Amino acid sequence: MRMRPTLSWTPDASLPPGTSDPGPVADALSAGGVLVLSGAGLSTESGIPDYRGEGGSLSRHTPMTYQDFTAGAHARRRYWARSHLGWRTFGRARPNAGHRAVTAFARNGLLSGVITQNVDGLHQAAGSDGVVELHGSLDRVVCLSCGDFSPRRELARRLEEANPGFAPAAAALNPDGDADLTDEQVGDFHVVPCTVCGGILKPDVVFFGESVPPRRVTHCRTLVAEATSLLVLGSSLTVMSGLRFVRQAAQAGIPVVIVNRDPTRGDQHALTRVALPLGTTLTTVAERLGILVDAPATA
């Protein structure tokens, strides 16, 4: 029997309340050696919605699972139609103050690394180096048959050629780059195959119901073990792919500080949760530490 992945989590009433004091974030960063674990909430200020916050996409949208994607051509046509349209909007997103602050912290030697659960590439666009993309990146496409990797922009060009004039109005964009379209809007969207072997193409991201590659998990566990503290930014930690690192840190006595407006599944393992907006909070912390955050890039 196929099991559906965990998409939701109900907070326990016994969880400690969040604080409006960003001091714990500043304290952790001032000590250096901080490992950042970021989630979808960090990118909401860039116009990309999160999954579970206020107005989160899970209230109206069930993400594509690996099992559904590989099960049939209809699901893949629906996914690629929606993703092709969403990619155009997704690609226009720009780093926000939170991303730029993380880059500034790293530039000033306060971070030991960055792990992101996001697939939007905004940490790198803000100038962060060595980011571990836990769930992959929408910038790449992989063939499920031969394993060939190719740039997403090349696939976008091929899909445009195969579907001239495809430009329905999407109801909303989702954190995975998937746009909300009806079956009527998807229509007979034409999916293109791998140019190497003719196999099935998939974005190089970890779908719900799919496992993070073991080597990547091992690398992240090493980063956690070597960190002075773990700073979680904008993640509900509902799924185990991120929560396991919080649990690992707590079990090893490594302090965990979470910045997320809503309760998270990792709150019981954290020193505190700062319940404030990320961009403002991280910018305020940078100012306290005398760190200059770059201004937004101009178009």
**Are residues 289 and 30 in contact, defined by beta-carbon separation less than 8 angstroms?**
yes
pLDDT of residue 73: 94
- Rounded (10°) CA dihedral 196, 202, 206, 211: -70
Is position 99 annotated as part of the catalytic site? no
Q: Is 220 annotated as a binding residue?
A: no
* E-strand stretches of the chain: 34-38, 111-116, 132-133, 136-143, 149-151, 201-205, 229-233, 256-259, 272-274
pLDDT of residue 5: 46
pLDDT of residue 8: 58
Distance from C-alpha of 231 to C-alpha of 227, rounded to nearest angstrom:
10
pLDDT of residue 51: 58
Pick the CATH number of 58-92+139-205 from 2.40.360, 2.30.110, 3.30.1600, 3.90.700: 3.30.1600
Q: What is the pLDDT along the chain (299 residues), one digit of tens a residue?
A: 333 445 555 777 677 789 999 999 999 999 999 999 999 999 999 988 875 445 444 444 567 889 999 999 999 999 999 999 888 777 788 999 999 999 999 999 999 999 999 999 999 999 999 999 999 999 999 999 999 999 999 999 999 999 999 988 876 777 777 788 888 989 899 999 999 999 999 999 999 889 999 999 999 999 999 999 999 999 999 989 999 999 999 999 999 999 999 999 999 999 999 999 999 999 999 999 999 999 997 75
pLDDT of residue 214: 97
Q: Is 120 annotated as a binding residue?
A: yes
The ranges of the chain annotated as CATH 3.40.50.1220 are 20-48+95-135+211-299
Radius of gyration of the chain (CA): 19
Q: Is 50 annotated as a binding residue?
A: yes
User: Of the residues 99, 135, 190, 219, which is catalytic?
Assistant: 135
pTM, rounded to two decimals: 0.90
| Backbone torsions φ then ψ of 292, nearest 5 degrees | -90, 125
The ranges of the chain annotated as CATH 3.30.1600 are 58-92+139-205
Q: Is 107 annotated as a binding residue?
A: no
Helix axes 23-31, 278-288, angle to 10 degrees: 50
CATH code at 20-48+95-135+211-299: 3.40.50.1220
Distance from C-alpha of 173 to C-alpha of 151, rounded to nearest angstrom:
21
Distance from C-alpha of 119 to C-alpha of 128, rounded to nearest angstrom:
14
